[in-house]
Amino acid sequence: MTHYRSAMASSTVEDYLKQILLLSAAGDELVSMGDLATALDVVPGTATTMVKALAAEGLVTHRPRYGVNLTAEGRRVALGVIRRHRLIETFLVNVLKMDWTEVHAEAELLEHAISDTVLDRLDALLGHPAADPHGDPIPTRHGKVDAQVYATLATCLLEKPLRIVRIVDQSPQFLEFAEQSGLRPGELLRVTDRNLAAGLVTVRKGPARAVTLGLAAAGHILVAPER
Amino acid sequence: MTHYRSAMASSTVEDYLKQILLLSAAGDELVSMGDLATALDVVPGTATTMVKALAAEGLVTHRPRYGVNLTAEGRRVALGVIRRHRLIETFLVNVLKMDWTEVHAEAELLEHAISDTVLDRLDALLGHPAADPHGDPIPTRHGKVDAQVYATLATCLLEKPLRIVRIVDQSPQFLEFAEQSGLRPGELLRVTDRNLAAGLVTVRKGPARAVTLGLAAAGHILVAPER
DNA sequence: CGCGTTATTTTGATTAGTCAAAATAAATCT
DNA sequence: AGATTTATTTTGACTAATCAAAATAACGCG
C-alpha cells in the first residue's frame, strides 16, 4: 500500500547493497563473497544465494567465483541507505545529544524505516550537513558524494599541523579509544614520530601529552593538512 | 546480537498485539478474528494462525471461535508499541513540523525500529508529553495510561462549553476534514443541535459559523466539559 | 605439473509470515 | 428444529532469508 521509496527494496536487500558499496571502498573493485558474508554476519552460501538474486534484479553484477559489484541502480539504492544512515547519526548526536560512539548501531536500525519525507525534514533541521559526526560524507538526495581523498595518520607527513577529518572504523571499541585519546574529527594535531618497524605512531596535540597508537589504527584516522 | 528490547518481538508480532489492544478499546472484550484480520490487512486464516502462535508464547489468550485478548505480558508489549508510536507522532509534529494529518503512517513504520535509548531521549526532548497531537494518551515507560473516559460530540450535553481532547479516527480523510473544520484537539466549542433521526450534529465555535457533521463522525471526537 | 589448501557454490532443510480454498462450527431465521 | 448464512479454522502451498554440509573451482607451492 504505502510506497515510500520507489521500488521498495527489503531491508535485507538494502543491507547487502550498502555493504557492497562500503567494502568496495566507493570504488569499483570486486567484493568477495567471504568479505560480504562476514560484514553481514551470514554464512558464505547465504551471500552467494542473495547476490544471485540481486543480480537477477539488476542491482549488482556477479562474476561467479570472483566477486560482486554494484550496477548504477544498485549504487543509487546503496547511496540512499548511506545517506539515511549518516543523517540519522548526525541527528542522534546533534539533536538528541547521544554519544557519538554509540549511534552507529541505532542508525543501523532506523535507516530502513525512515521515509523520504521525514528524512528531508531531518536534513533541513540539521542544516543540510555535508558530513556525519564521524566525518563521513553524507550523499545528497541525488546520490552525489564529496569524493575527497585524505591522508591518514599512518601515511601523512611528520610534524605538519593536521586536522582530523574522519574516523573510518565503526567499532565501538575503536571509537571509545579515539574518544578517550582526544582523537575526534575536527581536532588539531601533528604526528611527531612514526616507527614502521615497530608499527607505532606517536601524535601530539599542541605541546600536550603524546598519544601512541598502532599503525593499523593510525590508518583508520583520516587527516587533512591545516593552515 | 543487539538486544534492544527485552525478548524482542518481531514487528509483525508487535502489530498484532497493538491492534488487539486498540480493538478491545483498552478493555477486556474479546477481539474477533475478522476485525483483527481487517485491521492488519490479512485474510482471516492468517490471523487465526498467528493468534495461535501468540497464544503458545503466552502473549494472548485465544478462545477458539470466539476471539482473542491480551495476557498481562502481551499488554505490556502492546503498550510499549503504542508509547513508541505516539511519542514518534508527537516528535514528527512538534519538532519536524509535519502535518498532524500525515504522521500516523510514518509513525507506523518507525515504531518498530526505534530503541528504548533513543525513545527516552525523544521523550525528554519533548518534555514527557502526556498525549500525542491527536490527543491520544501516551503510556509511560512502565505501561501506565491516563485512563480517562470522555464524552463525544455524539453523546455530550447540548449548549455546554466543551474542549476537544482527542480525535479517535486515524484515517487521513477524516483528519483532513477535522482540520479543515477547525476541530483540532484543544479547540473550544459547543454542540448547538443534535438530530438523531437525521443523524446530524451541529457545533459552533463561539458565535462563529456552525459546522455540521454526521453522528458517526461526531462519535469520533472526544470532548471534556470546559469551565 | 599435480596436489593440497582455501574460497565459493550447490543442495536440502528450516523458519516466519502469508494466501486460497475447503471444512467446520456458530448464529440466525423462518 | 432444520436449513441457511456467516465467521472461523484447517490444510496445502508459496516466498524471503537463512544455515549446514557436500561438491566444486581456483590458487599456490614444491
CATH 1.10.10.10 holds for B1-147: yes
Long-range contacts of B26-31 (CB under 8 A, 24+ apart): B26/B145, B26/B147, B28/B69, B29/B67, B29/B69, B30/B63, B30/B66, B30/B67, B30/B68, B30/B69, B31/B67, B31/B68, B31/B69
Which residue type does B186 have?
G
Q: Distance between CA B194 and CA A78 in Å, rounded?
A: 57
Q: Quick one: pLDDT band at residue A167, thresholds 50, 70, 90?
A: confident
CATH code of A151-225, in short, is 2.30.30.90
Half-sphere exposure of A11 (CA within 13 A, CB side): 12
Which residue type does B83 have?
R
Q: Distance between CA B14 and CA B16 in Å, rounded?
A: 5
Summarised one tens digit per residue, pLDDT across range B111-133 is 999 999 999 999 999 888 888 87
Q: Is the pLDDT of residue B1 over 50?
A: no
The reported pLDDT for the residue numbered B7 is 67
Q: Is the pLDDT of residue A180 over 50?
A: yes
Residue identified by cell 485491521 is: B39
Phi, psi at A210, each rounded to 5°: -85, 155
Give the residue from chain A lying closest to B3, CA to CA: A105
Q: Is the pLDDT of residue A163 over 70?
A: yes
Indicate the pairing of strand B67-70 with strand B200-204. Answer: unpaired
Q: How far is CA B94 from the centre of its chain?
A: 18
Q: Distance between CA B91 and CA B88 in Å, rounded?
A: 5
Average pLDDT over residues B170-198: 84
The reported pLDDT for the residue numbered A5 is 65
In chain A, what percentage of residues exceed pLDDT 90? 48
Reduce the secondary structure of A96-117 to three states and give it as a string.
CCCCCCCHHHHHHHHCCCCCHH
Q: Distance between CA A13 and CA B65 in Å, rounded?
A: 39
Q: Distance between CA A112 and CA A18 in Å, rounded?
A: 11
Q: In the numeric block, which cell numbers belong to residue B161?
A: 462549553
Residues of A with CB under 8 A from a CB of B: 1-2, 4, 41, 92, 95-98, 102, 105-106, 109-110, 112-115, 117-118, 121-122, 125
Average pLDDT over residues B20-36: 88
Q: Pick out the nucleotide with least CA–C1' distance to B46.
A: C18
8 Å CB contact between B90 and B138: yes
Q: Quick one: pLDDT band at residue A51, thresholds 50, 70, 90?
A: very high
The reported pLDDT for the residue numbered B3 is 41
Residue A206: exposure state from Cβ atoms within 10 A (0-12, 13-18, ≥19) = exposed
Residues of B in contact with A106 (CB under 8 A): 115, 117-118
- Bases of strand C lying below 7 A from some protein CB: 7-12, 16-22, 25-26
Mean pLDDT value across chain A: 88
8 Å CB contact between B3 and B53: no
The reported pLDDT for the residue numbered A111 is 98
| Buried/exposed A115-144: b ≥16 CB within 10 Å, e otherwise | bebbbebbbebbeeeeebbbbbbbbeeeee
> Which residues sit close to strand D, CB under 7 Å?
A 10, 12-13, 40-46, 49-50, 53, 65; B 32-34, 44-45, 47-49, 51-52, 62, 64-67
The reported pLDDT for the residue numbered A3 is 39
Q: Is the pLDDT of residue A185 over 50?
A: yes
Using only C-alpha atoms, what is the Rg of chain B? 19
Nearest one of A135, A132, A205 to A167, comparing CA atoms: A135
Q: Distance between CA A83 and CA B18 in Å, rounded?
A: 31
Q: Is the pLDDT of residue A2 over 60?
A: no
Q: Distance between CA A115 and CA A80 in Å, rounded?
A: 11
- How many angstroms separate the CA of B63 from the C1' of C28? 22
Chain A nearest-CA distance from B4, in A, is 9
CATH 3.40.50.720 holds for A1-146: no
Name, of A73-77, B93-97, B150-154, the range with top average pLDDT. Answer: A73-77
Q: Distance between CA A16 and CA A23 in Å, rounded?
A: 10
Residues of B with CB under 8 A from a CB of A: 1-2, 4, 41, 92, 95-98, 102, 105-106, 109-110, 112-115, 117-118, 121-122, 125
Q: Where are the domains of chain B?
A: 1-147, 151-225
Q: In the numeric block, which cell numbers belong to residue A188?
A: 588539531
- How many angstroms separate the CA of A12 from the C1' of D15? 14
Out of A2, A92, A113, closest to residue B113 by CB: A113
Does B30 contact strand C, using a CB cutoff of 7 Å?
A: no
Residues of B in contact with A102 (CB under 8 A): 117
Indicate the pairing of strand B188-195 with strand B200-204. Answer: antiparallel
The reported pLDDT for the residue numbered B26 is 57
CA distances from B195 to B130, B163, B200 (A): 35, 21, 5
| Buried/exposed B180-206: b ≥16 CB within 10 Å, e otherwise | ebebbbebebbbeebeeeeeebbbeee
Chain B nearest-CA distance from A164, in A, is 28
